Copies of this chain bind each other. A is one copy, B any other.
Amino acid sequence: MFFASDNWAGAHPAINERLLRESTRFAAAYGTSELDRAIEQRFNEIFEREVAVFFVATGTAANSLSLASIARPGGVVFCHSEAHVIEDECGAPDFFSGMRMVPVEGALGKMEIASLEGRIARYPQDAVHHGRAAAITMTQATEVGSVYTLEEIEAVSATARTHGLPLHMDGARFANALAALGTTPAEMTWKRGVDILSFGGTKNGCWCAEAIVFFDPAMAKELPFIRKRTAQLFSKSRFIAAQFEAYLKDGLWLELAAHANAMADRLRAGISTSNSARLAWPTQSNEVFAIVPKTAAKAAEEKGARFYDWLEPRDMAELVGEDEMLIRLVSSFATTAEDVDAFLKVIA
């Protein structure tokens, strides 16, 4: 009953098997091996165009280096007020890019266009004192389990284009969003105007595989230096490539994400019919937010369930009663229906 986060899961057997195979041979270091090249080519296929791909150690690194690659002095970056870049990365995006994250409001973890426009208006291109708009970053799937529709992505990118701002997508849960929308990687990114993508594999079956994808390779020309200078270039980079090879092979990644989403939906369904718990808000990917009696949460924990209290640090007291608690439940490729059912039982 591990629902604390999808990064509590291990690694998928197919990925392990591929790592094993990789470990017995020699190959060129620092991302210059044939395997590295081949996987870069694989990303071209996945995204149906020539892209520039860079492997990095963590999702925080993927986001931070993406923003560093489009940094402008005095620039500010617009993100949802609950985005990982502003809430959960200890200022790494600010440190690497030299820019400030500016929060934009919006329901269900998605930036509302009017709020976004309002924020951008406050940072015109000649605002030497206040700072100038430099980039937009959106999270797909969001931090609260929702997913931008293709039309919503298009609306964000239209705003970005209007103001001449590059658009970054934090895709730590990219596969979950893709599975939720039932669309293609190309449709969910560059065809909708996304310029740079943090492509996450770690939360969905790899143990450490994050990539930055530039849809216009010309935008990536400083990245090799930015990556090395931030200590993110693995010597045995091909072990990241190997994970991605297995991950992307025969649609494994989408299968795993679909499974995780299905497990979340099973949780959702169980909670929605529960007497004691209720859904905090609708979600679409692999995260479910529920309001449960504190006693039930405590009992579940005692029986081994793991999840996060989402109430205290997030100022969400208005949502819940005094004896209640807002909890986040995250499913992963490794979550089983038995786990879900067991949890629903202990929480009931």
Chain B residues, Cβ within 8 Å of A230? 92, 95, 230-231
Q: From A92, which residue of chain B is reached at the shortest CB distance? A: B231
> Does the CB pair B236–A128 fall under 8 Å?
no
- Knowing A19-B19, A230-B231, A231-B230, the reply to whether A27 touches B8 (Cβ < 8 A) is yes
- Chain A residues 225 to 248 lying within 8 A of chain B, measured CB to CB, are 225-226, 228-236, 239
Copies of the polypeptide in the assembly? 4
Indicate whether A129 sits within 8 Å of B89 (C-beta atoms), given known contacts A28-B8, A122-B315.
yes
Chain B residues contacting A74 (CB-CB under 8 Å) are 90-91, 225-226, 228-229
Flag if A229 contacts B23 (CB, 8 Å): no
Which single residue of chain B is at the shortest CB-CB distance from A225? B74
A interface size (C-beta, 8 A): 79
Determine whether the beta carbon of B90 is less than 8 Å from that of A131. Answer: yes
A162: Cβ under 8 A from any B Cβ: no
By a beta-carbon cutoff of 8 Å, the part of chain A in contact with chain B is 2, 4-5, 7-13, 15-16, 19-20, 22-30, 56-61, 64-65, 68, 72-76, 87-92, 94-96, 98-101, 118, 122, 128-132, 202-203, 207-208, 222, 224-226, 228-236, 239, 306, 313, 315, 334
Known: A5-B235, A92-B229. 16 other contacts (CB 8 A): A2-B26, A8-B26, A8-B27, A10-B26, A16-B19, A19-B207, A57-B232, A61-B231, A72-B222, A72-B225, A91-B98, A130-B313, A202-B236, A203-B235, A230-B231, A231-B232
